[in-house]
Structure 1
Amino acid sequence: MSAARIDYVELPSATAYELTRGFYAKAFGWAFTDYGPDYSATTTGDVDVGLNGQPEEALSAPLPVIRVDDLEAAFDAVSKAGGVIAKPIFAFPGGRRFHFIDPSGSELAVWQTAD
C-alpha cells in the first residue's frame, strides 16, 4: 500500500447546512461544489472540506478521511490491525469509501477516487 494521508474532513451540518456553507464562504472565501441538495465540498485538491447536511448520514463529530490507492488493501489492513468496520465499502460520487472505528473510539473513513 502506498502512502496514505488525510486529505478530506467532513463536517456534520444537518442542523444548519445553508448557514454553515455561507459561513465558510464568507469567513474564508471557500468555494463549494454541490453534490446534491445537502452535500457540498471544497475541491482545491489540498485538504478539502465536505459539508454533510444529510440528517440520517452526518456524524455528530468531524470525520477525517484518509485517501489511499487501494481501498480493498486498506480495508484488509484496517481489519487486521483491529479497526472495527462501521460502514463497509460503498460508492459515492467521485469514488468509494468505508468507515472504521479506531481503538480510541474515533470514527474515520478511508477513500479511493473513481479514477
Structure 2
Amino acid sequence: PAPGTPMPPGSGVRLRVAARGEVRVGALSPLPAPKPEARTVTLALNLPPEVEGRQVRLVLVDDRGEHLVYEGEGREGLRVSGTYEAVGEAHFRLYLDGELFQEWAP
C-alpha cells in the first residue's frame, strides 16, 4: 500500500528496511573523573600560647576551596571544635596576624 493508506484490521503488511553498513559517532570525549565524595572531619583544638593578643584565622581547605572555621582575637586555651564536611583532600590552616602558623590534616 502507499504511505498513509488505511489498512483493514488483521491484514498483512510487507516491510523492507534498508540500512547503510556504517554508523557515524561523534568524537568521544574522555569520561570525567569520578567526583570525590563528601566526608566528615572533626576538629578539637585548644589555641596555643602563641595566639595571645594576635588576630587568629582558622580555615578548612578542601577540593571546593577555603572555608572559614574561626576568626577573632586569639586567647590562649580557647577551644575551637566542630564537625565539618570536606570533599577530597582536606587540611586545616591556622593563621596568626595573616601569616601561616600551622597546617595539618584531620
Please confirm whether the aligned pair reaches a TM-score higher than 0.5, indicating the same fold. no
Higher helix share: 1
- TM-score, normalised to structure 1, is 0.24
